[in-house]
Structure 1
Amino acid sequence: MRLPRELGIPLGFFEPGPANAITDVAGVRVGHATVAEDATERHGALRTGVTAIWPHEGRPWDEGVYAGVSVANGHGELIGISQLREWGVLRSPLMLTSSLSLGAVYDGVARWAVDQDPRQAGHGAGAFFMPVVAEVSDLVLSDNRAFPITREHVAAALEGATTDPPAQGGVGAGTGTICYDLKAGIGTASRRFVAEPGVEWTIGALVQTNYGERRNLTIGGVPVGPLIDLPIPPPRHEGSCIVVLATDAPLLPHQLRRVAARAVVGLTRSGAFVGNGSGEIAVAFSTAARVAGPRHDVDLHAVADGFNPNFNPLFEASVEAVHEAVLNSLFAARTTTGYRDVVAHALPVDVVLDALDRRGVLR
């Protein structure tokens, strides 16, 4: 597997972090549980899964982090969005899965947390948290009416999360997703940026890609979609994309909402148009401050006074990280045969490189 950066495809001006992944933000952990089973008498082929993103090394229901959310088009679902908008605090791992598995993953996270920490079974505000779970539909490649996600899958994603660079392509919540009518999945990238003199920060993106029309696919500024002569999977709605952005810059919720809003710009660089039936939802969080207790005890002045930046480098770095993460999800994916023998073909990298080379784009 060779990713766009290794192939000389231009990806912007900011340098990536050491691993070029969301886990370049210290403390952020990612885990996957992949469900890939062929058809049986009980169900059709299963190509689905769960991805967990922990905001730090501890328990977020004890110590939350500031967060913001943005919805470019709302034909999708994020359980917990009302709380994120109202309080601006994330007190849960961010979970990604398929549409009909939202309830199973929510239930799995809540039960797992209670099992790990019996205090969560008590009463009162201090024992309360709501899992945050987002979805895209993988119904083209997976028999989602079989309801395949179990508590064991949720636990595997949560317990298997590490600070290592996460696997990309058709893994976890990206096992059955399709982007630009090609096999896609999970992608990640990061950027380092300077928003005030002498201080460098990191922002990382992780995406679950499941959207787009092939004719719009653009890579390195070149419209490569029309050059790809591969069968297109059966018709479906425009699809969705979930974007998670993590940064160590000390930002407050209203600032993080503005960062999340830039995610859609990163999606459009490769050809997204935010269709009528699509769901583009982004969550951004900062690891710089821990928010303890139900009263959100934190020194707000320390956070606000600690970062008075020129926001443009932050926004541009965010856009670049999201854009590269999307491309990584495509380049890392492999051709997949799924439900009812539908085939989602991998991106033909040789076609892309030839087109970019003829335009003199490759570095």
Structure 2
Amino acid sequence: MSEINSLPIIDPLPYLPSSSLLPHVISEVSEIDLAERRKETAVKIHEACRDIGFFYLRVDSYLTKSDMDQALDLGREFFDRPNGEKESISLENSDGVRGYQKLHQNVTQGKADHHEGLDFYAPSPYSPRSPSTPSSSTSNSNGNPRLRPLEGHNQWPIRPEDFQVKLEKWVEKMKILGNAVMHAMADGLGMNQDEWEELDGMVDNSFWVMRVIGYPPLPEGADGISCGEHKDYGCLTLLHADPIPNSLQVLSPFPSPHWIAAHPIDGCIVVNIGEMWEIWTGGLYPATLHRVIHKSPTYRVSIPFFYEPNFKAKVKLLDAAKRKAAEEGKEIKEKEQVEYGQFLLGKVSGNFKY
């Protein structure tokens, strides 16, 4: 595995709403040629999405160091709580996908991962059941009727006491950041305003997902990895993690496929694109395989936020991607249209073992 970090670092500042920026950068943004800065950012994002599907996003004009440290500290405090307390909000007590997963409960490609986790989703995409709707004959561990996947409510920890309030603020910040990156990607593909508005309409009620993951060190000589190699399902993954090197690894295609380490960089998060962008672009933007092998003696916390399409969004090849591929002499292949929510349901059903 190469130790040379070749992922580009990109500044999203030109695409962020001025109201969301830290006070000390607002005047700077107003004095620059915004159109030129946007063009520069869009080109860099296009090249990163086309060539590897991963990049760093500089966020120190948007998030304070306190914001970033605090989010990880909350995760660390939760995972340090007694097992019984954590398991009181286990997946089985909700809809099977929202809540706590104990060590080795998460499965990637049929193999248990060496981490524990806590998963949250956007509100249920289903219409509320009427009182006359028959209850399921099966029940969860609380004796309540079993819910359909994604139908439940998020299970927030009681301790740390401010966990929910602060992580919900993190969700709102990530949604703004995700939309800014989407806009830059649209410009990178050469979309006109109408095309961008149509794409924006597919993510304006994003069925987002947030995971808080705890990685204990892999035991010496263990047969397995912390999180198996996989592609992400959706749109964009915005990853904030402890500053521990060598854990996150990305499969780089050049000059031939090989693993590189996405070392943490101060003031940055790691961004990668998911399978919906493969469909939108006919493969011009690949969803890249990645994995976690955490051997450091330090417990590692990461918070991936998945900025996803709307649950009912119909995802198919974009005209802008056809034009861009033709312009660059790239071959693309139209993939079958999917409805994002149904695609997601087909994936999450095999994520855990009970």
Normalised by the length of structure 2, the TM-score is 0.26
Bigger relative contact order, structure 1 or 2 (CA pairs below 8 A, ≥6 apart): 1
More strand per residue: 1
TM-score in terms of structure 1 length: 0.26
